[in-house]
């Protein structure tokens, strides 16, 4: 995508972008029309002003003839050990409630013991790496059959995948949903996961956490997804839970 495409996606004017990036509207106009070629520093400032994801900032730089400036370090690299330790502390601190860390594709990188217990009934094929968390939750051989409000909750999962650009997985999981248009109750905020379990119905809300100051592509694309009780009954159900072993 070009600077103009990112600006239009952000729904801001050339003047507003210029003010954010510390330049002039004329310069932005010339860059977008191809009459002026931005320098490396200006391109980075424009991308920052537009909150362009780091992976896409590298693509903008490459398209302009510059080398990428944001590294993409493998998650298991020793250099990311402090990041992994921080995530593990958050995961353990979230117990007794489930929590996971996923990459840009939504594949599982690490999880706490509560999430492992939650998906223990899924068929082994769904738990073989790379493990798609959304697929495990929605597939009928995962948790799909146990989700009471599968239609409503599943549509929001599919919508979220599309917004993140994971169109292939979204299309796959959309085939699991009933073929009907969402009704007036299909709202875009805080749809709970209502799960049928041996302990009764659990109602959980999901929160997403990201590293807000990341300068590494891998770290910037990490998501920590944490489940929280949405009612007192669910809170009580988890109160006595202890990790196995």
Q: Looking at residue 188, what DSSP letter applies?
A: S
Confidence at 188, pLDDT banded by 50, 70, 90: very low
Domains contained in the chain, CATH given: 3-63 (1.10.260.40), 78-239 (3.30.450.180)
103-150 pLDDT, tens digit per residue, is 999 999 999 999 999 999 999 999 999 999 999 999 999 999 999 999
pLDDT of 7 > 50? The answer is yes
SS3 content of the chain, % helix, strand, coil (to 5): 45, 15, 40
Confidence at 65, pLDDT banded by 50, 70, 90: very high
199-233 pLDDT, tens digit per residue, is 789 999 999 999 878 899 999 999 999 999 999 99
150-168 pLDDT, tens digit per residue, is 999 999 999 989 988 899 9
Q: What is the mean pLDDT of residues 52-62?
A: 96
Which residues does 105 contact at the CB level (< 8 Å), separation at least 6?
130, 132, 166, 169
Predicted pLDDT at 30? 95
Long-range contacts of 60-66 (CB under 8 A, 24+ apart): 60/1, 60/2, 60/3, 60/6, 63/2, 64/37, 64/38, 64/40, 66/40
Round the average pLDDT of the chain to a whole number and report it: 91
Predicted pLDDT at 26? 96
Structure-token pair, residue 176: 């699991």
69-112 pLDDT, tens digit per residue, is 999 999 999 999 999 999 999 999 999 999 999 999 999 999 99
Predicted pLDDT at 199? 79
State how far the Cα of 169 lies from the Cα of 106, in Å rounded to an integer: 9
pTM, two decimals, is 0.86
Structure-token pair, residue 59: 């693509």
Contact 237, 112 (CB under 8 A): no
40-51 pLDDT, tens digit per residue, is 999 999 999 999
State how far the Cα of 119 lies from the Cα of 178, in Å rounded to an integer: 23
Confidence at 183, pLDDT banded by 50, 70, 90: low
Predicted pLDDT at 221? 95
First to last CA, the chain: 50
């Amino acid at each position: 995508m070009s600077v103009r495409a990112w600006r239009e996606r952000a729904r801001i004017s050339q003047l507003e972008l210029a003010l954010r990036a510390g330049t002039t509207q004329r310069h932005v106009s010339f860059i977008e029309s191809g009459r002026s070629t931005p320098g490396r520093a200006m391109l980075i400032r424009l991308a920052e002003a537009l909150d362009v994801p780091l992976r896409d900032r590298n693509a903008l730089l490459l398209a302009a003839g510059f080398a990428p400036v944001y590294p993409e370090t493998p998650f298991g690299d020793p250099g990311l050990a402090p990041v992994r330790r921080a995530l593990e502390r958050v995961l353990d601190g979230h117990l007794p409630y489930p929590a996971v860390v996923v990459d840009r594709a939504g594949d599982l990188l690490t999880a706490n013991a509560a999430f492992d217990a939650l998906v223990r009934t899924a068929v082994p094929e769904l738990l073989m790496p790379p493990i798609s968390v959304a697929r495990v939750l929605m597939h009928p051989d995962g948790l799909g059959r146990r989700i009471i409000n599968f239609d409503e909750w599943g549509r929001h999962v599919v919508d979220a995948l599309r917004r993140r650009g994971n169109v292939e997985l979204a299309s796959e999981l959309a085939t699991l949903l009933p073929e009907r248009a969402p009704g007036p109750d299909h709202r875009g905020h805080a749809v709970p996961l209502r799960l049928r379990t041996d302990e009764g119905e659990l109602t959980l809300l999901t929160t997403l956490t990201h590293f807000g100051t990341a300068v590494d592509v891998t770290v910037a694309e990490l998501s920590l997804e944490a489940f929280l009780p949405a009612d007192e009954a669910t809170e009580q159900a988890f109160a006595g839970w202890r990790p196995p072993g």
